[in-house]
Amino acid sequence: MTISERFLKYVSFPTMSDENSETVPSTDKQLVLSRYLAEELKSLGLIDVELDDKGYLYATLPANAESSVIVGLIAHVDTSDAVSDGPINTKIVKYEGKRICLNEEKNIWLSPDEYPSLNRYVGNNLIVTDGTTLLGADDKAGVCAIVSAVEKVIKNNLPHGCIKICFTPDEEIGRGADHFDVKKFDADYAYTVDGGGLGELEYENFNAASAKVELRGVSIHPGSAKDKMKNAQLMAMEFNSLLPADQTPANTEGYEGFFHLIESHGDCEYAELIYIIRDHDRAKFEEKKALLSEISKKIEEKYGAGSCTVAIRDSYYNMKEIIDQNMYTVERAVAAMKAVGVEPEIVPIRGGTDGARLSFMGLPCPNICTGGENFHSRFEYIPIESLEKVVDIVERLILDTASF
């Protein structure tokens, strides 16, 4: 099976996770792919292959050379709920620098005018969809790269240390590390293969929190509402207006943080706002959370006690705090990329990965590229040539363990 054939097989499995589900994993369909992967890993000769009751698939590539380290490789099987996960209709297009017709019937085009990243891949073979679903390269390209690299190492009997593998569920809904058994995994450090374009290497991510703002008003007949009605929906609009208008996702980039209103609903009596809060800088992150509480107090002072409450829950922190103490993990990834002719591009993640939480759980875990572009979108694509290079990078990471 070629690398592209394996990838196309994996994306044929719908694996969307569900944030509203209380089961673990959040959807049974993730398990269908994980069971398939378990059998594939066994057929390649890996040992201790176990799909646990939470949907985590563990496996071991035992060492065939002396090594002082155990390295982990991690990817997630679920896909985002931002776009439909199926049925996924794929095709391979030789990119010639012009816009690509994804769907003639629906007049859907993938254009370099809208997605300039395409300009880097002239002459490459792109895997795309018909423009009605996501592709699933996030993170089935990561899964594919790990399995394909392991297959190459085994097939060619190349020397390596002990490699631990885990394919996780529910990363896209922020639960990918919830039931990860770091002790059982037993690696000294690991890499999530869950990044974007070829060469990306990430060990900085947002500090993240969620916030639920509840506004409580007073409803009365509008004909006699003078000085009596308190409209919770208007109070919610007022609350949002007191946040800095330039600190939203649409107005920020790089290391700049934001408040993102992801949900709002209500009526005159009750309204609710759901935010996510992000910032790379821990101090600014704490300031953002404090600002929400300050605004809540202002609303209360104006409309009365109990009219506004804010509940804030931290989600994950910037793994840089941990990786800075374990920079050899980054240095080894840089060396692996350069060894296979890929120029590393160290960039901050404007989001998070399982690796962020795992780093704080005692497993230093930078994130490396998958080669894909436009994740969580109907316009997602991956150059086959990039995916093949990611396989080379992962293979190099495996082989380098024999020298440590």
Which residue is catalytic, options 78, 130, 172, 188?
A: 78
Residues 141 and 265 in one domain: no
Q: For residue 215, what are its two tokens?
A: 């506004």
Among 316, 339, 357, the domain boundary falls at 316
Residues 217 and 188 in one domain: no
3-state secondary structure of 197: coil
Residues 123 and 19 in one domain: yes
Supply the pLDDT for residue 319: 96
Report the CATH number at residue 312: 3.30.70.360
Domain extent for 93: 3-204+319-403
Whether residue 269 lies in the annotated active site = no
Which residue is catalytic, options 81, 130, 151, 171?
A: 171
Strand (E) or helix (H) holding 313: strand 308-316
Tens digits of residue pLDDT in 272-288 = 999 999 999 999 999 99
Whether residue 78 lies in the annotated active site = yes
Report the CATH number at residue 88: 3.40.630.10
Tens digits of residue pLDDT in 285-343 = 999 999 999 999 999 999 999 999 999 999 899 999 999 999 999 999 999 999 999 99
On average, the pLDDT of the chain sits at 96
Residues 188 and 329 in one domain: yes
**Angle at the Cα of 55 (from 180 to 189), degrees rounded to 5?**
30
Residues 185 and 330 in one domain: yes
CA distances from 24 to 12, 15, 19, 82, 168 (A): 22, 13, 11, 20, 11
| pLDDT at 143 > cutoff 90 | yes
Residues 325 and 399 in one domain: yes
Residues 64 and 114 in one domain: yes
Torsion angle (degrees, nearest 10) of CA 136, 140, 145, 150: -160
At 199, give phi and psi (nearest 5°): 100, -15
How many structural domains is the chain composed of?
Answer: 2
Among 283, 316, 349, the domain boundary falls at 316
Residues 108 and 125 in one domain: yes
Tens digits of residue pLDDT in 10-43 = 999 999 999 899 999 999 999 999 999 999 999 9
Pairing of strands 258-266, 189-193: unpaired
Residues 62 and 189 in one domain: yes
Q: Where are the beta strands (DSSP E) in 123-269?
A: 125-129, 162-168, 189-193, 200-202, 207-216, 258-266
Of all residues in the chain, the percent with pLDDT exceeding 70 is: 100
* pTM confidence score: 0.90
- Closest listed residue to residue 218, CA positions, set 270, 264, 265: 270
Residues 176 and 68 in one domain: yes
Residues 11 and 116 in one domain: yes
Residues 123 and 241 in one domain: no
Among 287, 316, 345, the domain boundary falls at 316
